[in-house]
């Protein structure tokens, strides 16, 4: 059994890091694989104001760094590598085989899916062609490049408003284009956007194309109520229209909903025995850092109980 881990965690955002913290403190043989830098989406979040314990909020990168250090301090081993596929157990007492991008194979008794979600694309003409030349999916990364320039944000959720407010620190004007007559985002963010003189709303409107030769020059929008189409001149277009779960490698072995979110019970158990899930990749009502960390703790304890039961050493 020496080369078979007890718990393998795939994904190093707040959910995976918390699962790793709990599993390491339980002295499990646990290893976490993350394809990039640990931290997940909070690495590109300017400020997080709804994670308890920080009276004035906390910077996303700082929180990511502290979560990573805390898990490592208690013994979590993190490896930068992407898992490409998972082979299910051949028998109940067997192991899952995780194949990594470099061809190596990792054996484990249990798995925790913490792979999060990726940003959606609009799929309109000009979007892909102008990525990195004015089209962006990350305000924290690219916002400072738009000092004194005009930008358009597409979307009406928490990310669109939060990042729109962040962009208003640099840009001379931020126009938020949203397809409905009201926003989806939390009220406090809506209030701040309304009070910000640099932010303008373009509601009931969809983006139909992004124009520009070597760089973004304008976005084409159409009002869904009046049918009127117009161009909004801008230097940058930031697209925040939701997320898609990163669940592809799990789909052949666990049940997902029609959008690809992994279905689990209250103990984070999926339809496949030995596989647990936590964070944004899980089907649930509220996707926040605080719910991701709660999921992570539960998934780790469930995985620990599962492994100890397999080994006949559970504490009854």
Applying CB under 6 A, the residues found at the interface with ligand NAP are 50, 122, 154-160, 162, 179-180, 184, 206, 240-243, 287-288
Is the CB of 246 or the CB of 302 nearer to ligand NAP? 246
Q: How far is the CB of 233 from ligand NAP (least distance, A)?
A: 20
Which residue's CB is nearer to ligand NAP, number 31 or number 243? 243
- The minimum distance between CB 23 and ligand NAP, in angstroms, equals 25
**Residue number with CB closer to ligand NAP (11 or 156):** 156
Tell me the residue nearest to ligand NAP as measured from the CB: 157
For ligand NAP, the closer CB: 6 or 162: 162
Secondary structure, 3-state, the chain: CCCEEEEEEECCCHHHHHHHHHHHHCCCCEEEEECCCCCHHHHHCCEECCCCCCCCCEEHHHHHHHHHHHHHHCCCEEEECCEEEEECCCCCCCCEEEEECCCCEEEEEEEEECCCEEECCCCCCCCCCCECCCEECCHHHHHHHHCCCEEEEECCCHHHHHHHHHHCCCCCEEEEECCCCCCCCCHHHHHHHHHCCCEEEECCEEEEEEECCCCCCEEEEEECCCCCEEEEECCEEEECCCEEECCCCCCCCCCECCCCCECCCCCCECCCCCEEECHHHECCCCCCHHHHHHHHHHHHHHHHHHHHHHCCCCCC
Q: Give me the least distance between CB of 247 and ligand NAP, in Å please.
A: 15
Q: How far is the CB of 190 from ligand NAP (least distance, A)?
A: 12
Task: Give me the least distance between CB of 189 and ligand NAP, in Å please.
Answer: 7
Which residue lies nearer to ligand NAP by CB, 90 or 182? 182
């Amino acid at each position: 059994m020496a080369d078979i881990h007890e718990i393998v965690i795939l994904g190093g955002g707040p959910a995976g890091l918390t699962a790793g913290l709990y599993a390491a403190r339980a002295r499990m043989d646990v290893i976490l694989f993350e394809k990039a830098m640990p931290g997940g989406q909070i690495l590109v979040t300017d400020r997080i104001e709804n994670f308890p314990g920080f009276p004035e909020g906390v910077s996303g990168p700082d929180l990511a760094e502290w979560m990573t250090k805390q898990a490592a301090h208690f013994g979590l081993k993190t490896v930068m590598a992407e898992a490409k596929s998972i082979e299910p157990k051949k028998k109940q007492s067997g192991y899952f085989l995780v194949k990594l991008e470099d061809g190596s194979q990792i054996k484990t008794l249990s798995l925790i899916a913490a792979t999060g979600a990726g940003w959606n694309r609009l799929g309109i003409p000009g979007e892909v062609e102008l990525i990195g030349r004015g089209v962006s999916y990350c305000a924290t990364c690219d916002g400072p490049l738009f000092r004194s320039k005009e930008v358009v944000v597409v979307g009406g959720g928490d990310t669109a408003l939060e990042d729109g407010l962040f962009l208003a620190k640099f840009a001379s004007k931020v126009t938020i284009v949203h397809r409905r007559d009201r926003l989806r985002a939390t009220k406090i963010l809506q209030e701040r956007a309304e009070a910000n003189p640099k932010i303008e709303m373009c509601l009931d409107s969809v983006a139909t194309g992004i124009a520009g030769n070597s760089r973004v020059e304008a976005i084409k929008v159409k009002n869904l109520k009046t049918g009127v189409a117009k161009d909004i001149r801008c230097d940058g277009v930031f697209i925040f229209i939701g997320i898609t779960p990163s669940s592809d490698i799990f789909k052949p072995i666990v049940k997902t909903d029609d959008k690809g979110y992994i279905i689990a019970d209250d103990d984070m158990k999926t339809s496949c025995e030995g596989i647990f899930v936590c964070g944004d990749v899980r089907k649930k009502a509220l996707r926040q850092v605080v719910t991701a960390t709660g999921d992570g703790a539960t998934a780790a304890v469930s995985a620990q109980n599962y492994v100890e039961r397999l080994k006949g050493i559970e504490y009854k």
